Structures are given as C-alpha cells and as structure tokens.
Structure 1
Amino acid sequence: MEQQFNFNNELAGKIALVTGGTKGAGKAIVERLQKAGATVIITARNAPENENSNLHFIAADLSAAAGTQKVIGEVLSTYGKLDILVNNLGSSSTPAGGFTVLTDEDWESTLQANLLAPVRLDRGFLPQMIDRKSGVIIHIASIQGKLPLYDSTLPYAAAKAGLRNYSKSLSNEVSPKGVRVLTVSPGWIRTENVKVWLETIAENSKISVEEAQQGVVAALGGIPYGRPAEPEEVAEFVGFLVSPRANYLTGTEYVIDGGTIPTI
C-alpha cells in the first residue's frame, strides 16, 4: 500500500513530551518536533532560559516518583492524550575514582533519574496509547551502556545498560498493541555545556579549543568521524523515528557515535 507523507507538517495534531527538554540534545529535539507540527511539552527541574509561549513547560524532578506523577497528571488532564514520549533526561553527578568511592546514594540517585524515571513515565502514558493502538516511545540511552567509563560514570553506564534492556523488553510487549518503542544511544554530543568545558580546558592548558577537543576525543579512544555529534544531528534522527515514515521500526537500538564503539 502506497503511503503519502507530508514532510513539512507530518506531526500535526500530535502531542509530544520531551523530558530534559530545556537544553542540549533535548532542546534540539523539541525544536525539531515543533518544526514538524507537533504540540510539544517539556519538563525539567528548572524553566528554560528563554521563555517560549509555544511550549508547555512543567517544572518537575523526575528522579522522584511524585515528579513523574505530576507530569503524567498535568499532560493527560490538559491534552487528554500523549502520542510521543521522548525520555531524554539523563544525568551523572557521581564522583570519579571507581567503585570504591561510590555510596548507595550515588547509585540510587543515578538509577532514579536515568532508569526509573522513564519506567514510571512509560507506565503512566502507555495505557492510553494502547487503548488508541497508537504511540511512540523513545528512550535516549548512551553508548556508555556498551562502553562504560568505570572511573567516572559507573552508575550512569549501568543505568543506561538497564534502560537498553528494558526498552527492548517493553517493545516486545507493547508493539503488538500498536505502540512503537525505540532506543537511541548517542556518543559524545557537543552541547553548550561541553563547549564551555572545552573552552575552560583550552584556557587552563593554553591550547586552542580545537586541540582541547581532540584531546578529549583521544581520551575516549577516538571518534573515527573526528568530532562529537551536534545536538541537531541527534534531533533529526529522533524526528524521523517518531514520524509516520518510521512506522515499521520498533524494538531497535540506534547508535549515533561517529563510529566510537569499536565493535559491531
């Protein structure tokens, strides 16, 4: 059966939620979905720096069950449905030094934000997707789920590995009911925070920003493409995955890392 797609307005009438949508790749994903015609809701602990009347912002701490319940309740009471859920929120604030320096609190806070927050949001929004036999859930994981950095982000890597496994399992359950579930695992993304960090390295080491970036690339074991991803590059792929053009895609993980992972 031949399908006709409107690439300029292909998400018209769709309601989308992007967690962690105020900065970095999350912000780029929000802008991409808006350009495709979706009504976009964002949630984070703090409001975006630049207010946008076209966005519905919900302040919430998704690392707590009460925060996810607040978001679920407000979205469904305001819009009556959710078509697209992009679980983009991800964070790691644990200290470096390997497993011996990590406390239970380090592990619990990281698992809450990176694994349990998506689980709770999925659980809250899936029933109405299943009732309508329509919906897309995207889990933004990380290549650290396959390529962990044990010295600095051990809990984060473990949480993202769990998210990848959970995402595949969830897809097996709900895809027959009309809901697509996909995982996107980026490598290093050149966000605004990363740019500031590179400038700091360059200033402290008295080298150029480009040299600082290449030093980080070398520390990661190399990126064959030679640079980090831009947030817009991740967002463009997510925009495709949630669109009608990707209707047959579900249960799959897509890696966006410029070739960083050295194995197939």
Structure 2
Amino acid sequence: MYIPTTPIPGEFAGRRALVTGGSRGVGAAIAQRLISGGATVATSARSSHDETPKDSTFISADIRTDDGARQLVNAAHEALGGLDILVNNAGAARAHFGQIPDAEWEDSLAINFLSAVRVTNAALPALQQADRASIINISSGVAANPPAPMLHYGAAKAALASWSKGLAAQLAPAGIRVNAITLGMVATPGGTELLQSVMEAMGAGVEQAYSAIPLGRVGDPRDVAEAVAFLASDRAQWIAGADLHANGGA
C-alpha cells in the first residue's frame, strides 16, 4: 500500500514546469506533486480528463510532429512566463500480437521517443534562460527486456534512455540537468489493461507479474511523482545523467 508523503512547502516556489502527457495517470500525479510544492505547471495531452490537475494550465497538443511540439512549448512559455522544469512523460504503450506493422513502429517512435526530442529542442531556448533548469525523461523497464507484443515500445524507450544519457553530457556545461526515470509496473487503468493482455498472451496473469515485485506491491503514480520531485529539486543539484529505476526492486 502506498504511504502518502508531505511535500516540502514552497520547494518549487517560483519554478515553472511543463509536463507532457500530464492529463491523467502518472503525468497527472507528477503535475500535482509539482503544484503541491509551489510550482506553476502546464500540462499537455491531446485531451484533458477528470484527473487533470485543476490548478494546472492545460494545453491540448499533438507532439508527434515538430509543429505540434513547437506550438506546445510556445503556448506553455506564454502561459508560464518561462520554463524551469520539463518532464517528458508523454507516451503510449500498445501491444501488437503477431508481426508489428511499419506504421506501428513509426507511431511508437514518434510518441515514445521523438516527441521528447522535439519538445526538448523547442524548449531549450527557454531552459537556457532559467536558473537551475531540469529535464526529466520518463522511460520504462520494458526497454531492457521487452515482451514480443511490445518490441516497438521497448525499442522506442531504449532510444529515449540512450538519448537522455547523451543529452545530459551535452547540456550539463550549460547548467541544465538531464535525468531519466525507468518505471516498473505502475497501477493505472490503461497500464493494468495492457499488462493483462500481454500476460494472457503469455499464458499467465497479472497477479503473477505483481508477485515478482520484491517490495511486494505494484507502483502508485505518486511513487513516480516523488521520484520526479526529487530529481527536479535542489536536493538533486549534483545529479545529471542518472537513470533512476523506480520499480519496487524488480
């Protein structure tokens, strides 16, 4: 069972953050955690949901294209007046049973990898003007050991992890910290449904997957939000190029 924590009051006061894929699930939890710490936050997705933090500025965007990424960053910059923290959380994991068509590969790369590259490139001028800027990219443990129905997703997330490492070295001299978080199984409606379909195809059940987590429980979106809050904070001011595994010890 997840044990709620208390954010440090004013930890992110004066900081401005953009969270992609922030309308629900993990992204919404990240946005809410930054807001609770005093940040001004913009969230983006193609549509908002009941989970979308009410205190965030929601921006509808399709960041699978250069134009969509630039439009999002421009809108966020206008709404926030600048940008200090960028969380590239947008992604979509779809299982495909049988041979994966080219269109699925292209779409997975666009949303799970290239969207982060495009948003980051568009955001760099604003981040370079910020004090103590931070970029956090959300990856997945599937990158290291993808099941067959998710090879396209795993490959895209592996690219994200590799790019994050190289980008960290590139941007560190400018004072911009880049880190990644590699997730294990996190309980969201979409994630649980996807896991169930993959496990059934392998002749197993969701509970079997959960039982393999050493800490004894599936992740809560707030677990991820706390990891993001740490890496975005001054407590992690000497951490760059890290890949933090938030997976319950799996």
Q: Give ranges in structure 1 of 5+ residues lacking alignment.
A: 1-5, 201-210
Distance 2:182 2:129 in 1: 29
Instruction: Identify the match of residue 173 of structure 1 among 170, 175, 190.
Output: 170
Hey, what does 1:214 align to over in structure 2?
207
Hey, what does 2:10 align to over in structure 1?
9
Hey, what does 1:83 align to over in structure 2?
84
- Is the contact made by 2:84 and 2:131 (CA closer than 8 Å) also made in structure 1? no
Tell me which amino acid in the other structure corresponds to 2:219: A
- Structure 1 residues 132 and 23: alpha-carbon distance in aligned structure 2, compared to 1, 3 A threshold: closer
Distance 2:52 2:223 in 1: 24
- Is the contact made by 2:93 and 2:150 (CA closer than 8 Å) also made in structure 1? yes
Alignment of 1:56-205 (within 5 A): 56-97=57-98, 101-132=99-130, 134-149=132-147, 151-194=148-191
Post-superposition offset of 1:152: 1.1
Hey, what does 1:207 align to over in structure 2?
none
- Structure 1 residues 199 and 156: alpha-carbon distance in aligned structure 2, compared to 1, 3 A threshold: closer
Instruction: Identify the match of residue 234 of structure 2 among 221, 244, 255.
Output: 244
Aligned residues: 240
Distance 1:173 1:113 in 2: 23
Tell me which amino acid in the other structure corresponds to 2:161: R
Hey, what does 1:39 align to over in structure 2?
40
Alignment of 1:223-238 (within 5 A): 223-238=213-228
Per the normalisation by structure 1, the TM-score is 0.83
What does the per-residue CA deviation read over 1:158-197, in whole Å, with 9 as the maximum and x for residues that have no partner? Answer: 0110001100100101011110000000111011335677
What does the per-residue CA deviation read over 1:45-93, in whole Å, with 9 as the maximum and x for residues that have no partner? Answer: 1112256542100011122222212101111233331100000111122
Tell me which amino acid in the other structure corresponds to 2:122: G
**Any idea what SS the aligned residue of 1:157 has?**
helix
Per the normalisation by structure 2, the TM-score is 0.88
Identical counterparts, % of pairs: 36
Distance 2:34 2:189 in 1: 20
Post-superposition offset of 1:212: 5.6
Post-superposition offset of 1:237: 1.3
Alignment RMSD: 2.4
**Any idea what SS the aligned residue of 1:31 has?**
helix
- Structure 1 residues 176 and 143: alpha-carbon distance in aligned structure 2, compared to 1, 3 A threshold: same
Instruction: Identify the match of residue 256 of structure 1 among 234, 246, 249.
Output: 246
- Structure 1 residues 35 and 172: alpha-carbon distance in aligned structure 2, compared to 1, 3 A threshold: same
Distance 1:212 1:63 in 2: 33
Q: Which has the larger radius of gyration?
A: 1
Q: Give ranges in structure 2 of 5+ residues lacking alignment.
A: 1-6, 198-203
Post-superposition offset of 1:35: 0.6
- Structure 1 residues 89 and 177: alpha-carbon distance in aligned structure 2, compared to 1, 3 A threshold: same
